[in-house]
Structure 1
Amino acid sequence: MMATREPIKIAAVGDLHVKMTDKGKWKNYFEEISNIADVLLICGDLTDTGDEEEAHILAEELHALHIPAVGVLGNHDYEKGRQKLIRQMLSTSNFQLLDGESVVIKDTGFAGVKGFGGGFDRYMLSMFGEDAMKAFVQESVDESMQLDRSLARLEQEYPEIPKIALLHYSPTAETVQGEPVEIFPFLGSSLLAEPLIRRQVSAVFHGHAHAGQLIGSLSENLAVYNVALPVLKKHQQEKEFFMVEI
């Protein structure tokens, strides 16, 4: 398969924060992406307040997209406890929302989870102390394990194809630089990095850190892209989505 595989053109964005007033706003945006990319990745915070009506507006706007799309939910999509409704509303044959699942598009594997906080490197929170603190860290552990399982399935079923990971939270402090250091524990966790490195993922995309950096890395060959829309607007003058060929 790899001998005949053609590079895939990936467009990626996160943190659309679609609002009730956004009807018609995204049609041209998705049409433009359709003309130049093979797949669109949307890295969480699809809605602004976690309302299913916001998700309905996004679903309508996505009719202008004529390529496959893959996404994960973000913390805003959980705000009102309606994340299951949002996922049902947005999951179509052309848009797959991942939460520990994986999908193959053009001989490329995509695995996705929301992720969670917890901090980075030697400043990671530990599972010690109050039950509330242990529960917080356990959520990060669970998301990391779910990511690992989804990557493992791709590895077992399609051992020769490259693997791409979608997250909402960051696996590295590099792409959240620019945010207040006081909130780093709520922007991501290094626990997410371990399966990404061990499973030899080709690239990682996330959002969430609106004031962060566009590009970081977990190793010499593993780039991490923070594609939150405010970051793209800050670092790119022409396109409000990120393009890369893998």
Structure 2
Amino acid sequence: MPTGNDTITVAAIGDLHVTEGSVAPYREMFAEISRTADVLVLCGDLTNFGKTSEAEILAEDIRTCDIPVLGVLGNHDYECGQPENVAAILHEAGMTVLDEQAVEVQGVGFAGVKGFVGGFGRGELAPFGEPIIKAFVDEAMNEARKLENGLRTLRTERSVAVLHYSPIIETLEGEPIEIFQYLGSARLADAIDRFDNVKAVVHGHAHHGTYEGRTRRGTPVYNVAQFVVKPKFGRPYALLEV
């Protein structure tokens, strides 16, 4: 068991998109990860349409993991309007669904939220004008606040921020620039950069993005959408030493 400044191995993957027709889609991979990593992190879009039947299929695979499993939901997990049910099914199977809580695994803290859209730099949407625009921006700000609150509760020397949406532009490169504002929000990076102990950030969502980037303060950010990771490493998950 790692102690003190010893690192742990984090396996991270996003965008599993489990469908109703899937049969043990990740069981073999989870068994492999259990042999090589200390914790498994799932970065949203765990189901394809947010159906409870899809969540139950993934839950059966999660039950076979021999290591802690934690993560966040993604936008696809909200599609059927029952994200609470999806989260409850995965929680019952042993997954810690990060959102209003943060956890510690072998001396490393983990805090996470789904995140939201909103844009970056001059393209960042401001809370001005129609009420619906203000409500839209408030959702992005609320997700950033939840992330900041979660990170603040951690007293570990090393922490990991877990997201679905991206906090930076760099890991979106490869996607059409016209949709960058729909793939993440700089407000998430603002929250992360308030903490010196955040050693890594993982997210998914950008299927055609870039694997690695950094926040303004230099915190490493990894796009672990399986469609990005597999061409790079020959496997659909990333392994990070934290």
CA RMSD of aligned residues (A): 1.5
Q: Within 5 Å, which residues of 2 pair with 1:176-215?
A: 176-200=172-196, 201-215=198-212
Paired residues of 1:202 and 1:221 also in contact (CA < 8 A): no
Question: CA separation in 2, counterparts of 1:221 and 1:187?
Answer: 20
Bigger mean CA offset, 211-220 vs 181-190: 211-220
1:28 touches 1:64 (CA, 8 Å); kept in 2?
no
> SS of the residue aligned with 1:172?
coil
SS in 1 for 2:86: helix
In the alignment, residue 132 of structure 1 is paired with which amino acid? Answer: I
SS state of the match for residue 91, structure 1?
helix
After TM superposition, give the deviation of residue 76 of structure 1 in Å. Answer: 0.3
TM-score scaled by length of structure 2:
0.95
Q: Which amino acid aligns with 1:138?
A: D
Aligned to 2:145: 145
Which letter does structure 1 place at the counterpart of 2:181? P
| Match in the other structure for 2:236 | 240
Q: CA deviation at 1:3?
A: 7.4
Percent identical residues: 45
Q: 1:231 aligns with which of 219, 228, 231?
A: 228
Q: Which runs of 5+ in 2 are unaligned?
A: none
Taking the aligned partners of 1:221 and 1:147, their CA distance within structure 2 comes to 18
Structure 1 residue 177: Cα displacement = 0.8
Runs of 4+ with deviation above 3 angstroms: none
Deviation at 1:14, TM superposition (A): 0.3
Deviates more, 1:192-201 or 1:32-41: 192-201
TM-score (norm. length: structure 1): 0.94
Aligned to 2:96: 96
CA deviation after TM superposition for structure 1 residue 232, in Å: 1.1
CA contact (8 A) 1:67 1:94 kept: no
Q: How many residue pairs were aligned?
A: 240
Give the CA deviation at 1:225.
0.3
**CA displacement at 1:219 relative to structure 2:** 4.1
C-alpha distance after superposition, 1:141-160 (max 9, x if no partner): 00011111111111xxx2x4
Greater alpha carbon shift after TM alignment, 217-226 vs 205-214: 217-226
- Cα distance in 2 for residues equivalent to 1:129 and 1:81: 28
The residue that corresponds to 1:72 in the other structure is: 72
Instruction: Give me the whole-angstrom Cα distance separating, in 1, the residues matched to 2:109 and 2:182.
Output: 28
**Which whole-Å deviations, capped at 9, do the CAs of 1:51-100 have from their partners, x for residues lacking one?**
00000000011122110011100000000111000011001473100113
Aligned in 2, Cα 1:55/1:191: closer, same or farther, shift over 3 Å? same
Letter in 2 for 1:17: H
Unaligned stretches of 5+ residues in structure 1: none
Deviations 1:23-68 (A, max 9, x none): 2221111000000000000000000001000000000111221100
Task: Give the letter for the 2:121 counterpart.
Answer: D
2:193 aligns to what SS in structure 1? Answer: helix
Q: C-alpha displacement at 1:138, in angstroms? A: 0.8
CA distance in 1, matches of 2:209, 2:131: 31
Alignment partner, residue 63 of structure 1: 63
Offset at residue 216 of structure 1 (A): 0.6
Task: Tell me whether 1:128 sits opposite 2:131 in the alignment.
Answer: no
**Secondary structure of the corresponding residue to residue 198 of structure 1:** coil
1:19 matched residue in structure 2: 19
* Cα distance in 1 for residues equivalent to 2:3 and 2:109: 16
Look up the match of 1:36.
36
AA aligned opposite 2:203: H
Write out per-residue CA displacement over residues 114-157 of structure 1, whole angstroms, 9 at most, x where no aligned residue: 00000012221111121221111111100011111111111xxx
